[in-house]
């Protein structure tokens, strides 16, 4: 029971991070039908931005409140990562819009290589460890020397994820921007004819996806306390798995998928073998796609003849 509870807590934490990244994949896929392979690396860059600014605030500027520093870092990371993704879309994807279907995919793979290698060149190949922040845990249950605990960091991750998802949901459901996004998803040409600024809507979609990835990046950094230039790929692929599992194009699906992937991973490691946890995640992806290609909450694709 304690182990179960502990895995549940760890799984939800990990799943929140995957879910935040997954939204970026799902939104971009929904609006321009493209698998944005560079998104995992955008997430990695955001973690680096957070790391740099956290260091700047705490060591150089001497901000003493860790909470204040983290909030400031997260906002800065959201803004700068949004800017980065905006620039990437402008340079690498927009010129390819409406052309050959595989071209943006290859361009995105190229961009992913560029981002990880750029960080390697600019910041060096070694791990970047931060001094531990927000240490401390609450013990929930204890028996036979095994305690199920929840750490302050985990609580923070849950709260931040919940708050940001609520805000994000409001933007997508209730604002003109969200309406424009949904219109573009349905029919980009018609939306343009009705006066929706399609280019701007797509740009903003990239910015929003990146901002959420930056939240995930900041949380990832505080949770693990270390980041490396190669950390984009695996969380990226897992988040993508989450998006597909939940039904690509569906925002609640992305969050649900993220949570499921996080839970599968932690429970698998807890009960079976830590070695094969990624195999489990990928196998589930394959199985879901084969038997339920539309995912859990996605709309089935009808092929009109």
Ligand X SMILES: Nc1ncnc2c1ncn2[C@@H]1O[C@H](COP(=O)(O)OP(=O)(O)OP(=O)(O)O)[C@@H](O)[C@H]1O
d(CA 185, CA 190): 10
Near another protein in 228-267, by CB under 8 A: 233, 237, 240-241, 244
- Residue closer to ligand X by CB (options 122, 302) is 302
Q: Of the ranges 75-83, 133-141, 154-162, 170-178, which one interacts with another protein (CB under 8 A)?
A: 75-83
Which string of x and - marks every residue 246-285 that binds ligand X (by CB under 6 A)? ----------------------------------------
Give 254's contacts (C-beta < 8 A, 6+ positions apart). 19, 22, 23, 25, 26, 242, 243, 246
The reply on whether position 63 binds another protein by CB under 8 A is no
**Contact (CB, 8 A) for 209 and 254:** no
Q: Which of 53, 168, 220, 267 binds another protein (CB under 8 A)?
A: 53
Residue 148 CB, nearest approach to another protein (Å): 28
Q: Does 107 bind another protein (CB under 8 A)?
A: yes
Cα 162 to Cα 204: distance, rounded to the nearest angstrom: 22
Query: How many alpha carbons fall within 13 Å on the CB side of residue 136?
Result: 5
Among 123, 225, 263, 270, which residue sits at the site for another protein (rule: CB under 8 A)?
123
| Beta-sheet strands, E only, within the chain | 128-129, 137-143, 146-151, 226-227
User: 126 vs 304, which CB is nearer to ligand X?
Assistant: 304
Q: Judged by CB under 8 A, which stretch of 13-21, 55-63, 190-198, 259-267 contacts another protein?
A: 55-63
Rule CB under 8 A: say whether 194 interacts with another protein: no
Identify the residue among 8, 56, 63, 72 touching another protein (CB under 8 A).
56
- Per CB under 6 A, 122 contacts ligand X: no
Residue in 137, 175, 186, 283 binding another protein, rule: CB under 8 A = 283
Give, to the nearest 10 degrees, the angle between helix 39-55 and helix 198-224.
Answer: 60
Contacts with another protein by CB under 8 A: the residue count is: 74
**Is residue 189 involved in binding ligand X (CB under 6 A)?**
no
Q: What residue number has its CB nearest to ligand X?
A: 302
Residue 50 interface partner, choices another protein, ligand X, none, CB cut-off 5-8 Å depending on type: none
Residue 94 neighbours by CB under 8 Å, 6+ apart: 199, 202
Q: Is 34 left (phi over 0), alpha (psi -120 to 50) or beta?
A: beta
Contact (CB, 8 A) for 244 and 296 = no
Q: Which is nearer to another protein, 4 or 118 (CB)?
A: 118
Binding residues for ligand X restricted to 284-303, rule: CB under 6 A:
302
List alpha helices for 56-148, DSSP H: 66-88, 102-123
Task: Report residue 74 CA to chain centroid gap.
Answer: 14
Instruction: Name the residues that contact ligand X, by CB under 6 A.
Output: 302, 304
């Amino acid at each position: 029971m304690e182990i179960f509870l502990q895995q549940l807590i760890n799984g939800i934490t990990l799943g929140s991070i995957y879910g935040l990244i997954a939204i970026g994949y799902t939104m971009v896929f929904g609006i321009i039908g493209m698998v944005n392979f560079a998104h995992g690396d955008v997430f990695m860059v955001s973690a680096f931005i957070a790391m740099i600014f956290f260091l700047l605030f705490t060591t150089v500027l001497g901000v003493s409140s860790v909470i204040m520093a983290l909030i400031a870092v997260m906002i800065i990371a959201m803004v700068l990562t949004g800017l980065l993704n905006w620039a990437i879309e402008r340079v690498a994807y927009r010129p390819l819009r409406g052309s050959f279907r595989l071209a943006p995919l290859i361009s995105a793979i190229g961009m992913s290589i560029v981002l990880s290698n750029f960080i390697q060149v600019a910041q060096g190949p070694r791990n970047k460890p931060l001094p531990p922040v927000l240490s401390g845990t609450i013990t929930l249950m204890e028996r036979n020397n095994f305690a199920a605990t929840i750490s302050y960091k985990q609580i923070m991750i849950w709260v931040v994820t919940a708050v940001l998802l609520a805000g994000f949901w409001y933007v997508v459901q209730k604002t003109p921007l969200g309406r424009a996004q949904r219109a573009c998803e349905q029919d980009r040409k018609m939306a343009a004819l009705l006066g929706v600024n399609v280019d701007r809507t797509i740009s903003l979609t990239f910015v929003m996806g990146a901002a959420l990835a930056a939240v995930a990046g900041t949380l990832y950094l505080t949770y693990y306390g270390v980041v490396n230039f190669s950390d984009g790929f695996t969380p990226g692929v897992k988040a993508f798995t989450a998006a597909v599992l939940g039904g690509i194009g569906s925002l609640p699906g992305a969050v649900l998928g993220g949570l499921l992937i996080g839970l599968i991973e932690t429970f698998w490691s807890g009960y079976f073998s830590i070695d094969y946890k990624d195999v489990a995640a990928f196998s589930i992806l394959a199985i879901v796609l084969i038997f339920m290609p539309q995912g859990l909450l996605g709309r089935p694709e009808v092929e009109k003849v």
